[in-house]
Each structure stands twice: as C-alpha cells, then as structure tokens.
C-alpha cells in the first residue's frame, strides 16, 4: 500500500517538471530566434533552393551584423570556394584564424578549410604547409589524401611514397597507386644519362612488393603489366635481348589485354634472332582472343613488309569482318597508298584509294585516341595516370572506337 501511494505522488511531479522544462526550452528557442536577423533565414532559403549568389549576399549581411557567427563564416567560405571565388574564401578563413578567442576545434577546421582554398587556387606550397598542420587531428585522413594529390601533381614521388605509407597507417590497408609511384621512379632512373640501372632494380623490387600486398583480383591488371614492361626495358638496356623478350612474353599470361602495347617490341625481338615467323604466330594467335587496333597494326605491317601484299590483305579482310573498324581500314589504306611501283595495290583497282582514305581518315581522327574511363580525357598516347583527373589505371589499352 505504501509503494502505490509513493508512485501516486511521484508521477504528477515528474510530469509537471517535464511540462515546465519543455515550455522553458520553447520560450528560450523563440527568444533566441528573435535575435537572428531576417537575412539569416533568407540565406537559408536561398541555399535550400541552390541559389548560391543570393545566399552569399544574405549571409554576408548577417556576418557584418554579427562577426562572432563562426559557423556562418565557415558556410560562407565553403560557398565562395565552390563558386570559384578563392580570394574571398581565403579572406574568410584567414579572418577566423586571426581571432584570438577562436576555440581549438574551430581553429583546426579553419586551417583545413584554408588549405583547401590554397589547393583549389593551385598554391601548392601554401596548401602543403596548411595540410601538414592538420595531419594529427580530426582532418588527418583528408589532409593526408590532399598531400598525396599535391605530391602527385608536382611529380615528387619520394614524398608521395612517404605520405602513402602514412595513409596506410591510418587505413590499415594497401594503397594501389603506390605501385605506380615506384614505377615512376624506375622510369626516371632509366631516363637518366647514363641510366641508373641499380637504382631502377631497387625501385622495381619495391613496386613488386607493393603489388604483392594488393588483393589478388587487382594483380592481373595495369600495375602488373607496367612492372613487366619495365623489367623488359631494363633487360634491354643491360643488353640481354632474350631476357627482355622473355619478360614481354609473360604479358600473355599476366596482362593479356595489354599485349598490344608491347607487340612491336616483342616482334622486333623475334626478328633480331631470325624468328620473325614465330613471333608473328604468337601475336596472331593472341589477336584471335584479344583483338585490338594496336595489335592489328603490328601484324598487318609485318605481313605487308615481310611476307607479301596478299597475305596482309587476307589478314586485314578477315579481321575487319570479325571486328569491323574504320581505324583498321584507315591504317590499312595508309600503308597501301605508301606502296610504290610493283607493290601498288591491285585489290580495289576501280576505286580511288586516295580519296577513299581521305574520307575515312577525316572521320577516324577523333577515334584514334585512348580515353580515360573516369573523366573522358582523350590522348593519342597511353597513360598510366590520366592527365585530366590524375586518377591511376583509368585508361583501357584500347582506342576510343573499340570502347564504343
């Protein structure tokens, strides 16, 4: 009986306290909202409607009335940066950092936002310094990734490698582009005068180790192809043609789609040892399973110059039937039109081949390019890293026409 009486007293008291607290909070919220300028709500409305110009004007007016609105200044700086008004964004974030009463958390955010402003403006030195100052706090991961982009843009591969290792410590997982950083160092060593062969070997070992840390599914792609090609290049510079050829032959297994990129070098290696027909047979067999314009051009050129006109045209006709390609036909006609004397083509005597080739070539110029699968950047050369978006392994080893 005492227990029931106790609850009869407590329940109304608790209910009353809750009602009083809710009324107090509501009154406080309404009281505080009266102090917010009308421009603040206008700015929010414009922002929700994605009218950034009017939103900025409204928020600037609020900021002038109350310079202590930290979050509003952050919003303004972000809007300025998004619209490309980098100088105004920098001023907003610098003004926040100049405030002596700014809490440590807000100082860190302001410094990170300022670093992003510098990066967007292309001021890499200042951006690097600012990101370095936020490597240990809340923005450690984002700042580390930004530093990697900066070092990539500057082709500072040693520092990129160092920063990627720091990123691996934060993520506890491998970073695929690390393989390419070491490969870039190998390319630099091989391009030196004279080539730095020992250093190239050392960096290539590091690239192979980085590749071994990646998931199995990623080991049969571009990174493996690049490492194999570099092995062949080093062997060729060392004067070991057979070893270089051996590495190129492994491309058929480790990265079959990339064989077109090394087909000419591989065939040249066979020709040097008097085994041109063997090399041609390998490429033709591979072409049946992995057709590409690069491979087509190598095979057709060899047949036309070393075997004869009729076998070359027979290969071209069969290839174009199975895999129709204006680029293939364009390359074929280009070779035929360069022939002289008895080598002049008699396959299509009734046609004006020169006119036909000009018509086709005009149309195929825009197709004879490699294209980034991420941003669409097109280039005549093959890139491991896209010059447009700076992402790695976004170029397929096929021309634009083959991808459509």
As annotated, the binding site for Fe cation includes: 372, 375, 386, 389
Helix (H) or strand (E) holding 213, with range, is: none
Cβ neighbors of 180 (< 8 A, separation 6 or more) are 207, 223, 226, 384, 385, 392, 393
Beta carbons within 10 angstroms of residue 356's beta carbon: 15
How far, in Å, CA of 281 to CA of 299, rounded? 9
Cβ neighbors of 398 (< 8 A, separation 6 or more) are 257, 260, 292, 293, 370
Dump the DSSP string for 27-38.
Answer: HHHHHHHHTS-H
Helix (H/G/I), strand (E/B), else coil: 387: coil
What 8-state DSSP symbol labels residue 305? I
* Residue that is written with structure tokens 């004067």 in the block: 239
Positive or negative, the CA dihedral 142, 151, 390, 74 is positive
Beta partners for 378? 371
Residues placed in the known binding site = 372, 375, 386, 389
């Amino acid at each position: 009986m005492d227990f029931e009486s106790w609850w009869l007293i407590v329940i109304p008291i608790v209910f009353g306290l809750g009602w009083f607290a809710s009324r107090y909070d509501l009154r406080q919220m309404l009281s505080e909202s009266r102090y917010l300028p009308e421009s603040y709500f206008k700015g929010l409305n414009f922002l929700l409607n994605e009218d950034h110009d009017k939103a900025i004007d409204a928020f600037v007016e609020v900021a002038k009335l109350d310079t202590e609105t930290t979050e509003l200044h952050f919003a303004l700086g972000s809007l300025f940066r998004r619209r490309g008004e980098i100088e105004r964004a920098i001023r907003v974030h610098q003004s926040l950092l100049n405030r002596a009463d700014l809490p440590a958390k807000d100082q860190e955010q302001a410094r990170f936002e300022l670093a992003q402003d510098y990066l967007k403006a292309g001021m890499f030195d200042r951006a690097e310094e600012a990101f370095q100052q936020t490597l240990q706090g809340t923005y450690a991961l984002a700042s580390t990734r930004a530093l990697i982009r900066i070092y990539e843009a500057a082709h500072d591969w040693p520092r990129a490698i160092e920063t990627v290792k720091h990123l691996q410590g934060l993520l506890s997982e491998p970073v695929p582009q690390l393989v390419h950083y070491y490969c870039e160092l190998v390319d630099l060593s091989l391009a030196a005068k004279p080539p730095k062969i020992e250093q190239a070997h050392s960096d290539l070992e590091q690239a192979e180790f980085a590749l071994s840390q990646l998931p199995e599914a990623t080991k049969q792609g571009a990174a493996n192809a690049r490492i194999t090609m570099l092995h062949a290049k080093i062997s060729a510079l060392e004067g070991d043609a057979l070893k270089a050829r051996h590495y190129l032959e492994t491309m058929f297994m480790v990265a079959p789609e990339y064989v077109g990129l090394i087909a000419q070098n591989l065939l040249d290696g066979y020709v040097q040892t008097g085994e041109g027909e063997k090399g041609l047979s390998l490429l033709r067999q591979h072409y049946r399973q992995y057709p590409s314009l690069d491979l087509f051009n190598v095979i057709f050129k060899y047949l036309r110059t070393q075997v004869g006109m009729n076998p070359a045209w027979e290969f071209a006709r069969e290839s174009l039937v199975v895999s129709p390609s204006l680029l293939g036909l364009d390359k074929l006609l280009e070779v035929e039109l360069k022939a002289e004397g008895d080598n002049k083509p008699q396959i299509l005597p009734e046609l004006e081949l020169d006119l036909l080739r000009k018509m086709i070539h005009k149309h195929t110029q825009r197709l004879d390019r490699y294209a980034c699968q991420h941003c669409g950047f097109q280039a005549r050369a093959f890139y491991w890293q896209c010059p447009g978006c700076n992402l790695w392994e976004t170029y397929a080893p096929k021309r634009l026409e083959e991808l459509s």
